[in-house]
Amino acid sequence: MARHLARIHGTEEDKVNCPFYFKIGACRHADRCSRIHHRPAFSQTILIKHVYRHPVREAELRAAREGRSVDGAIVDEEKAREDFLSFFEDFFEELSKFGRLEALHVCDNLGDHMIGHVYAKFSEEEEASDALNLMNGRYYDGRRMEVEFSPVTDFREARCRDFDEDTCRRGGFCNFMHIKPVPMCLIRDLEDEAEDERRREEAERTERRRREERRDHRGGGDHRRGGSRRERERKGGGSSRRGGGGGGSRSMSRSRSRSRSGSRDRGSGMG
């Protein structure tokens, strides 16, 4: 019995658990779904909901504001592509501060339950948990971020293979993930930068610790204060890879230095 239930969990055969929520982490029926959406208490993957501004939706909103028909909504494909890559870089860099990213996927879907979704999978649950705690409720490009743990850890099950082959006939309203493609070379660059950053922070932490220890050895009367500072340092360093306190807050307002950012005109940094 138990084995049978495990086998059908999250499949069409499963009359209790919603297969869409199980596989894709999003279901068009949302809270009105007749089957259960089992929300994980922990996961390696977080979902940042509706944070990417889909160019088609943005164009429609613009047309509506200007009193034109939605059919007249025009998307500047080249600008949309540039904006998307900047968006991707922003999120890759920001999320990498919490740990190593195994995947970062932005949905191209247009359905209300999936539009603008961003999935980030970390190598450790603890990193995902840190990211969720710090990102949830912050703003990006004027949007308040709503972040939750996602049951999706295997994107092969979640993604639409037809979209990957450019043959999905359901278009933007497909219920499987249409993952926006990102050039592999950009991902490699971002991974390398994130790795460098992690190494630099680790070296800084080590150096700081060494300095504290030297001072403790020298100073006679200062033992008590030095000791407690070291204590704090140890606690801060042990809890996450971001290091003690300062790392987290500094990350909020760091200006970007990448050369591509010349094209950015919205000042869309996280706040």
- 95 near Zn ion, judged by CB under 5 A: no
- 16 near Zn ion, judged by CB under 5 A: no
What is the C-alpha separation between 249 and 269, in angstroms, rounded? 14
CB of 175 to Zn ion, least distance (A): 8
- 70 near Zn ion, judged by CB under 5 A: no
Q: Which is nearer to Zn ion, 119 or 163 (CB)?
A: 163
Q: Which is nearer to Zn ion, 135 or 174 (CB)?
A: 174
What is the C-alpha separation between 182 and 186, in angstroms, rounded? 7
3-state helix, strand, coil in the chain (%, to 5): 50, 10, 40
User: Which two tokens mark 157?
Assistant: 């099950």
Answer for which of 114, 174, 177, 194 binds Zn ion (CB under 5 A) is 174
Angle between helices 184-218 and 223-239 (to 10 degrees): 160
- What are the C-alpha distances in Å from 239 to residues 102, 135, 147, 148? 21, 17, 21, 21
Answer for which of 168, 182, 186, 187 binds Zn ion (CB under 5 A) is 168
Site string for Zn ion, 224-263 (x = CB under 5 A): ----------------------------------------
CB of 103 to Zn ion, least distance (A): 18
Contacts of 218 (CB under 8 A, 6+ apart): none
Q: Which residues bind Zn ion (CB under 5 A)?
A: 18, 21, 27, 29, 33, 160, 163, 168, 174
